[in-house]
């Protein structure tokens, strides 16, 4: 059914070349990716593999120099609330408290005051920050900030959530908790998630599909469908098998580059 319909996000043979100091650098070449509604997809690869570039093109922050980037079959021309982005460095507005950060999107889209209040209340409860509603970002921990950043795009009716190494700056314990919470939110809301990471465990734990990318120039190397049942046991034998497969795939780039 999905194959026949229009994908929520589709990238067709997408490339990106930009000029830096008079030299042209090819960040991404011939990348094709089809994302169905409700999928959780992880992009994984070493730095310079173009995974963040791909994500930023999906967000509409950068235009592709080749190929097509489509949402529901319509070309992406710029950022849109339907594609919410969660940054590694949070990107919260420091002058707004938690409540107003989450309400920023709905307010920008001129929702009614009462409606904004209800939406904000709902999402503050979803991320469990009820007692921090009136607190400014600089008073929050990294994990709390990232919860607010996630709530902010959900409160703005994002259909796809684009996440650029969102848990990369957090400590291990907080990271695991947020991974659990994210899977929980995703499975309850039917969101579509495109998640960039360089951590193999994170990708296996989260994704329906893992897209492995490789550098020089950045491209999509291979896709794996992770068919493990959820909730996933990171200590399980199958999980470990996947770990081995992905590690071998990722490290093969180094071998080839060196050789």
Partner 1 sequence: MTTLASDSGSGTASARATSWASAAWSRLRPLLLAVVFPALMLSIWHFATVGRPGSLVPPPHDVWLELWDLAFGGINDDAYSRTLHIHLLASVARVYGGFALALIVALPLGMLIGRVPLIRQIIDPTIQILRPVPVTAWLPLAMIIFGLGPRSAFFLVFLGAFYPILVNTIFGVRSVEPRLFEAASMLGCNGSAQFFRVVLPAALPSIFTGMRLGLGFAWVVIVVGEMTGVQTGLGAIIMEARQLSRTEIVICGMIVIGTVGFLSDRLVMLIGRRLLAWSPSHG
By CB under 8 A, name the binding residues for partner 1: 59-61, 78-81, 83-85, 87, 89, 91-97, 104-105, 108-109, 136-138, 152-153, 156
Closest CA to 148 of 160, 162, 164, 136: 136
Cβ-based nearer residue to partner 1, 50 or 60: 60
Cβ-based nearer residue to partner 1, 46 or 96: 96
Neighbour-count burial for 184-204, b at 16+ CB within 10 Å, e otherwise? ebbeeeebbbbbbbbbbbbbb
Q: How far apart are CA 26 and CA 66, in angstroms?
A: 11
| 235: number of Cβ within 10 Å | 7
Helix (H) or strand (E) holding 74: strand 74-75
The answer to whether residues 234 and 201 touch, using CB atoms and an 8 Å cutoff, is yes
Residues 6+ apart with CB under 8 A from 121: none
Cβ-based nearer residue to partner 1, 156 or 249: 156
Q: How far apart are CA 251 and CA 215, in angstroms?
A: 12
Least distance in angstroms from the C-beta of 81 to partner 1: 4
Least distance in angstroms from the C-beta of 131 to partner 1: 18
Cβ-based nearer residue to partner 1, 95 or 112: 95
Cβ-based nearer residue to partner 1, 11 or 148: 148
Least distance in angstroms from the C-beta of 91 to partner 1: 4
Q: How far apart are CA 196 and CA 177, in angstroms?
A: 18
Residues 6+ apart with CB under 8 A from 4: none
Least distance in angstroms from the C-beta of 112 to partner 1: 15
Least distance in angstroms from the C-beta of 124 to partner 1: 17
Cβ-based nearer residue to partner 1, 28 or 86: 86
Least distance in angstroms from the C-beta of 173 to partner 1: 25
Least distance in angstroms from the C-beta of 44 to partner 1: 23
Cβ-based nearer residue to partner 1, 82 or 174: 82
| CA atoms within 13 A of residue 34's CA, in its CB half-sphere | 8
Tokens of 136: 């400014």
């Amino acid at each position: 059914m999905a194959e026949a319909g229009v994908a929520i996000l589709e990238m067709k043979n997408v490339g990106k070349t930009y000029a830096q100091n008079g030299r042209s650098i090819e960040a991404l070449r011939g990348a094709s990716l089809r994302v169905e509604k409700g999928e959780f997809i992880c992009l994984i690869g070493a730095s310079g593999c173009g995974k963040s570039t791909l994500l930023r093109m999906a967000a509409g922050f950068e235009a592709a120099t080749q190929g097509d980037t489509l949402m529901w079959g319509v070309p992406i021309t710029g950022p849109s609330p339907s594609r919410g982005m969660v940054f590694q460095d949070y990107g919260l507005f420091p002058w707004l408290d938690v409540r107003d950060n989450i309400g920023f999107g709905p307010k920008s889209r001129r929702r009614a005051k009462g409606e904004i209040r209800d939406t904000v209340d709902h999402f503050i409860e979803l991320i469990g920050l009820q007692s921090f509603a009136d607190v400014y970002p600089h008073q929050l921990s990294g994990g709390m900030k990232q919860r607010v950043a996630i709530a902010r795009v959900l409160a703005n009716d994002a259909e796809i959530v684009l996440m650029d190494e969102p848990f990369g700056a957090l400590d291990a314990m907080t990271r695991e908790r947020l991974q659990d919470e994210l899977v929980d939110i995703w499975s309850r809301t039917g969101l579509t998630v495109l998640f960039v990471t360089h951590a193999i465990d994170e990708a296996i734990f989260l994704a329906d599909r893992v897209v492995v990318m490789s550098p020089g120039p950045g491209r999509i190397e291979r896709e794996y469908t992770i068919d493990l049942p959820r909730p996933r046991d990171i200590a399980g034998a199958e999980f470990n098998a996947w770990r081995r497969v992905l590690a071998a795939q990722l490290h093969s780039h180094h071998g080839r580059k060196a050789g």
